[in-house]
């Protein structure tokens, strides 16, 4: 078991993990605490023989996060096996790069807490894994490291794939917070970021973020708004963003306020997609000079297509190898594009195609009061 808690304000969550974790399986808690919080965590962990701690090497204060990965059951490698046991997507190599990037300098030492887990990963067969991993490591990266993490890594994967996605297919981003993008769309969103996800010349971005009515009518009412920390100050700097925003609508789950973040590229009618990503980190709020700003942790499925119905994707697969999601010989509208290979179900977290904000809709801002009562008859107090 491997748990990461980087955020300085998550000490209480770390204690929760210590109290409720199993007493038999090994647990490594990688954290970013210093001073008295670190001392408190050291003392708490000392009561458990199966728990080890490791300090994360956090170089920049941006994108501090927690990481979650639930693996399939991977078999130990037989000593006599001479073939490559990493997945065809290179998942294990990317995961080890990620751990070494955030770990201490002795990550290469098998006797160190982090080195132990890296050795364990290297001794298991990752061939059953059918997804790509794109991690984000704290710091500024140049040279060979430039495209190993973040959205540049994603762009590298997409450019190396067999996709022939029409330029008319928009990118859809669904997230629970918004950072600073600059004074104009071209400052970053429609240039650097869009280029990584869709290449140059792509048309259209659909950004799904709850409006005030979505929060007001949610299962928690205004209390759900605390999970969407978009502020007046940030919004005032980028009024242009509203043109890209779309409602949170998810069929019978619409009233469940979303905390996941996901990204995909779909046909204009919402019938097909060429790839899908799932992440734990929102759109960024770091300085515009930073090239690495996006995903803290992403599971990405390349080569997927889906039909819009019952909120379920249809994932395109072929012997576990990523494939083109559309028939490149197809012509005309996306309605005529057909999957080229076999498909399996894949859940969709929201309705497609996304519904744009109406003239009366406003994005949820966590520090704005709201007088209209929510579903519980309460008014909205700014956080």
CATH of the domain at 157: 3.30.870.10
CA gap 275, 164 in Å, rounded: 12
Q: What are phi and psi of 190, to 5 degrees?
A: -90, 5
Instruction: Say which of 124, 253, 259, 370 is annotated catalytic.
Output: 259
pLDDT by residue for the chain (383 residues), tens digit each? 555 555 544 566 666 666 666 677 888 888 878 889 889 889 988 988 888 888 887 776 655 566 777 788 999 998 887 889 999 889 999 999 888 887 766 778 888 888 988 999 999 999 998 888 888 776 676 777 778 887 788 888 887 775 667 888 899 999 888 888 889 998 888 887 788 788 665 678 999 999 999 999 999 999 999 999 999 999 999 999 999 999 999 999 999 999 888 888 888 887 777 788 887 765 554 433 333 333 333 333 333 333 333 344 444 333 333 333 333 333 344 444 444 444 555 677 899 889 999 999 999 999 999 999 999 999 999 98
CB of 117 within 8 A of CB of 108? Answer: no
Q: Which region holds residue 150: left if phi is over 0, alpha if psi is between -120 and 50, else beta?
A: left
- Please indicate if the annotation marks 261 as binding a ligand: yes
Burial of 160 (0-12, 13-18, 19+ CB in 10 A): exposed
- Establish if 82 belongs to a structural domain: yes
- Does residue 141 sit in the same domain as residue 168? yes
Q: Is 155 found in the same domain as 48?
A: no
Q: Is 246 a catalytic residue?
A: no
- One domain, residues 150 and 267: yes
- Is there a contact between 204 and 170 (Cβ–Cβ < 8 Å)? yes
Residue 376 lies inside a defined structural domain of this protein? no
Residue 63 lies in a domain: no
Q: What is the pLDDT at residue 156?
A: 84
Residues in CB range of 238: below 8 A, 6 or more apart:
180, 181, 182, 183
Q: Would residue 372 count as lying in a domain? A: no
Same domain, 311 and 210: yes
pTM: 0.78
The residues near 194 (Cβ < 8 Å, ≥ 6 apart) are 171, 202, 205
| Site of tokens 């007001």 | 216
- Note whether residue 195 is domain-resident: yes
The predicted pLDDT at position 99 comes to: 87
The residue segments making up the domain with residue 112 are 73-128
Check whether residue 221 and residue 300 sit in a common domain: yes
Burial class of residue 18 in the structure, from the number of CB atoms within 10 Å of its CB (0-12 exposed, 13-18 middle, 19+ buried): middle
For the chain, how many structural domains are there in total? 3
107 part of a folded domain: yes
Q: Do 40 and 81 share a domain, yes or no?
A: no
Domain boundary residue, one of 89, 109, 128: 128
3-state secondary structure the chain: CEEEECCCCCHHHHHHHHHHCCCCCCEEEEECCCHHHHHHHHHHHCCCCCEEEEECCCCCCCCCCEECCCCCCCCECCCCCCCCCCCCCCHHHHHHHHHHHHCCHHHHCCCCHHHHHHHHHHCECCCCCCCEEEECCCCCCCHHHCCCCHHHHHHHHHHHCCCCCCCCCCEEEECCCCCCCCCCHHHCHHHHHHHHHHCCCCCCEEEECCEHHHHHCCCCHHHHHHHCCCCHHHHHHCHHHHHHEECCCCHHHCCCCCCCEEEEEECCCCCCEEEEEEECCCCCCCCCCCCCCCCCEEEEEECCCCCCCCCEEEEECCCCCCCCCCCCCCCCCHHHCCCCCCEEEEECCCCCCCCECCCCCCECCCCCCECCCCCCCCCECCC
Same domain, 47 and 122: no
Same-domain check for residues 208 and 318: yes
Residue 290 and residue 177 in one domain? yes
Residue 355 lies in a domain: no
């Amino acid at each position: 078991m491997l748990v990461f808690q980087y955020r300085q304000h998550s000490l209480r969550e770390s204690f929760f993990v210590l109290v409720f974790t199993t007493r038999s399986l090994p647990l490594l808690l990688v954290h970013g605490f210093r001073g008295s919080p670190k001392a408190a965590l050291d003392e708490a962990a000392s009561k458990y023989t199966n728990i080890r701690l490791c300090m994360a090497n956090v170089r920049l204060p941006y994108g501090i996060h927690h990481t979650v990965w639930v693996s399939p059951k991977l078999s130990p490698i037989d000593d006599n096996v001479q073939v490559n046991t990493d997945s065809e997507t290179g998942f294990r190599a990317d995961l080890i790069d990620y751990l070494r990037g955030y770990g201490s300098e002795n990550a290469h030492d098998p006797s160190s807490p982090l080195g132990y887990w890296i050795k364990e990963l290297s001794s298991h067969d990752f061939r059953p894994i059918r997804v790509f991993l794109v991690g984000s490591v704290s710091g500024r990266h140049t040279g060979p490291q430039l495209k190993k993490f973040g959205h540049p890594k994603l762009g590298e994967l997409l450019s190396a794939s067999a996709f022939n996605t029409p330029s008319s297919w928009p990118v859809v981003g669904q997230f629970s917070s918004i950072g600073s993008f600059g004074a104009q769309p071209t400052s970053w969103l429609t240039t650097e970021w869009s280029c990584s996800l869709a290449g140059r010349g792509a048309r259209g971005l659909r950004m799904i973020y709850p409006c005030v009515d979505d929060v007001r009518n949610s299962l928690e009412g205004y209390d759900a708004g605390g999970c969407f920390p978009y502020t007046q100050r940030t919004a005032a700097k980028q009024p242009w963003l509203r043109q890209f925003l779309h409602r949170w609508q998810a069929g019978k789950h619409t009233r469940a306020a979303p905390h996941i973040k996901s990204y995909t590229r779909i046909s204009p009618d919402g019938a097909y997609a060429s790839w899908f990503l799932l992440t734990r980190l929102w759109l960024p709020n770091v300085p515009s000079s930073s090239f690495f700003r996006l995903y803290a942790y992403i599971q990405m499925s390349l080569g997927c297509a889906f039909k819009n119905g019952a909120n379920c994707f249809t994932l395109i697969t072929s012997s576990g190898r990523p494939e083109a999601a559309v028939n490149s010989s197809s012509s005309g509208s996306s309605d005529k594009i057909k999957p080229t290979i076999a498909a399996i179900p894949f859940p969709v977290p929201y309705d497609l195609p996304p519904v744009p904000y109406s003239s009366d809709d406003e994005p949820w801002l966590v520090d704005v009061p709201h007088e209209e009562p929510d579903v519980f008859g309460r008014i909205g107090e700014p956080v």
